[in-house]
Structure 1
């Protein structure tokens, strides 16, 4: 049977009537930007996460950009993993900073605190901990490192909505936490959206100013700003989907366990969950010998796959052509991961029989 890599239609069908009702509610209100739906979502998401403030924006990339600016990182270096998504690098550049590439851990594919420590220098202004694939980083070690060096830790939670570290939500450890609500995220809108979560205070105020032209009051700009507003419709959809998030994450973990059991004796290296963490499996990422041949084998059987991510940061043409090379640690593991990682279909609504189909095809390939 065909198994698409992802299907938003399958994910959204159970709540389609409620989504239509949310659309009708916003349409009837006549208020489409930064209104009561946005305010309600900010309050509800902050309460769900366990932080005192949530400032919504129009994308997860803007969330990272404005977080870096709010912390005064402009002109300095920012340490982040080489193995992560492109928006991280672009956000650092757009914030007026220089990325510095650190290595990841082999077991979790998240930022290695020892490598981050090696890459911190006199110009470092922040460390970005990317909770990759749905699993938090080593937050105790990274938090202690940043505290010792007097640096802010920024959590990139674009793939970790609901993940926990030692029983506490990812996104509650750093000075700031940036979230994306891109449609494919664990908590996704039906368009784009993002947010920065933090403690109430000066930084929250700076974020609220920056996202709307730096306006301290109507038509009075106090500081440089941008247009990064969340619209009412996306906030209404996110409020609805937030109520289903815990159940959806549980479904992801069940599917991941199914994959792990069925693929345990194959040549694949399967994703590991650290014992002090709860993984929310934004992606189920294996490391596959003969990856390209396996992908073609699966494609021929109607099974979708993807690669997250095929080119590490320090190898991006952006940093290797026409620009001085960025500082980087020994990134042999990141390069090896780029050549081996393969994401298998996993999302709420995927049937166990479809997981069995994927696993049977993989086992047939390696047999």
Structure 2
């Protein structure tokens, strides 16, 4: 039986192997391994790609969020509004700074934060909003920025899953006051290890993040802040520069596979992803909904098809946040989707015939069930 993985990193590597090896050799031959020319070049290329002035490479996507919030002055007792339907890091960094995550439910169509519910959570302690461009589709940024401007709030786009996606013709990363990316290997632009980046048009914010990532020092050994050790690795930067050249092509490949899924799952009793007309969804994950998730996932596994749940427990129901006292049913859409949604295999190199195999397997499951 053939096995179909959720994502195949080896298939991608085979297409760029020689370029990657050359880039790595250049770093090793050059002898500069920390914050060298490759990091600087990647920062410039990502900034240009996103249409912003500044990009700062850091150790990972979580640190990108942490340093951006720290540089923006978020601290003890502040409240930060965000979504509970995301990876834990989005709220974790808020708590690490002594601030309090305030969760707003999601729009059940896009899975992004429901902008209509943001205003009711704003009070004198509210200092920031973190919209997450979940699964590769941008949040409703016009309304979020309008609310933020009205209440003088800092907006940090969590774009870990969305590099290359667009909102009304503008790249994510250029929509808020700052944005963060993750280069975790499974991301649309992934390294061969950890990595992250902050982008912004705010010169002062960029300057602070550059200082924070090197123990709060500028120059070296002279410390003006309590900082972090969070630097993007030179080897990862070199690899990412190779891969960045292919990002749009790979994202388009994902969009094409998603279109096939949408077409071939029309007859199945599952809900396929909704893509807003004014946004360019890049399908970091292809998420479907069904009433019998566990049984369908089990059936797919038996047929050699990998799946994944994103996310089984919304953040407001995590044990570590019990003290925030969000009761059962307090954020119903997030709770509902955490029980119904899961991801199907999706990557640019996935053959159309395998997409067909996956969709036929799903349709056969429901036909036999009926």
Normalised-by-shorter TM-score class: over 0.9
Alignment correspondent of 1:130: 132
Partner of 1:12: 13
8 Å CA contact 1:136–1:277 kept in 2: the answer is yes
Shift of 1:95: 2.4
Q: Which residue of 1 aligns with 2:42?
A: 41
Kept in 1: contact 2:60–2:194 (CA 8 A)? yes
- What CA deviation, in whole Å up to 9, does each residue of 1:275-325 have, x standing for no partner? 1000000000000121000000000000000000010011101112xx443
- The structural deviation recorded for 1:269 is 0.7
Q: In the alignment, what sits opposite 2:119?
A: 117
Instruction: Find the aligned partners of 1:364 and 1:115 in 2 and give their Cα distance.
Output: 40
TM-score calculated relative to the size of structure 1: 0.97
Per-residue deviation at 1:231?
Answer: 1.1
Q: Please, which moves more after superposition, 253-262 or 195-204?
A: 195-204
For residues 81 and 328 of structure 2, the distance between their equivalents in structure 1, rounded to whole angstroms, comes to 9
> In the TM superposition, what whole-angstrom CA distance separates every residue of 1:226-247 from its partner, at most 9, and x where no partner exists?
1001111000011111100000
Question: CA 1:328/1:128 → structure 2, altered by over 3 Å: closer, same or farther?
Answer: farther
What secondary structure sits across from 1:221 in the alignment? coil
Kindly state the Cα deviation for residue 90 of structure 1 after the two structures are TM-superposed: 1.2
Q: Output one character per residue of 1:144-200: Cα deviation in whole Å (capped at 9) or x when no partner.
A: 011111101110000001100111111101111011111110111111000110014
CA RMSD of aligned residues (A): 1.3
Q: Distance in 2 between matches of 1:262 and 1:324?
A: 43
Q: What TM-score comes out, normalization by structure 2 length?
A: 0.97
Partners of 2:74 and 2:314 in 1: how far apart? 23
Residues 115 and 329 in structure 1, CA contact (< 8 A), matched pair in contact too: no
C-alpha change, 1:327 and 1:306, in structure 2 (3 Å) is: same
Per the alignment, residue 285 of structure 1 pairs with: 287
Cα distance in 1 between the residues matched to 2:202 and 2:289: 41
Contact 1:103/1:329, CA 8 A, preserved across alignment = no
User: Residue 336 of structure 2 aligns with which residue?
Assistant: 336
In structure 2, distance between residues paired with 1:95 and 1:56: 20
Would the aligned equivalents of 2:329 and 2:335 in 1 still touch at CA under 8 Å?
Answer: no
Taking the aligned partners of 2:122 and 2:193, their CA distance within structure 1 comes to 36
Work out whether residues 43 and 54 of structure 2, in 8 Å CA contact, stay in contact via their aligned partners in 1: yes
| Greater than 4 Å deviation, 4+ residue runs | 326-329
Taking the aligned partners of 1:218 and 1:301, their CA distance within structure 2 comes to 56
2:59 and 2:231 in contact (8 A); partners too:
yes
User: 2:273, 2:288 within 8 Å by CA — same for their partners in 1?
Assistant: yes
Distance 1:12 1:314 in 2: 37
Give the alignment of 1:148-163 within 5 angstroms: 148-163=150-165
State whether structure 2 residue 316 is matched by structure 1 residue 314.
Answer: yes
Matched, 1:360 2:360: yes
- Mapped contact 1:100–1:327 kept (Cα < 8 A): no
Answer yes or no: is 1:297 the counterpart of 2:288: no
Q: Say whether the 8 Å CA contact 1:130–1:156 is kept in structure 2.
A: yes
Q: Distance in 1 between matches of 2:326 and 2:94?
A: 12
Asked if residue 192 in structure 1 is aligned to residue 198 in structure 2, the reply is no
SS at match of 2:197: strand
Q: Which residue of 1 aligns with 2:349?
A: 349
Preserved contact between residue 73 and residue 97 of structure 1 (Cα < 8 Å): yes
CA distance in 2, matches of 1:126, 1:138: 16
Give the SS at the match of 2:80: strand
Asked whether the equivalents of residues 119 and 328 of structure 1 are also in contact (C-alpha less than 8 Å), the reply is no
The aligned residue for residue 27 of structure 1 is 28
5+ residue gaps in structure 2? none
How far is the alpha carbon of 1:326 from its aligned partner? 6.1
The change in CA–CA distance for 1:80 and 1:132 in structure 2 (over 3 A counts) is: same
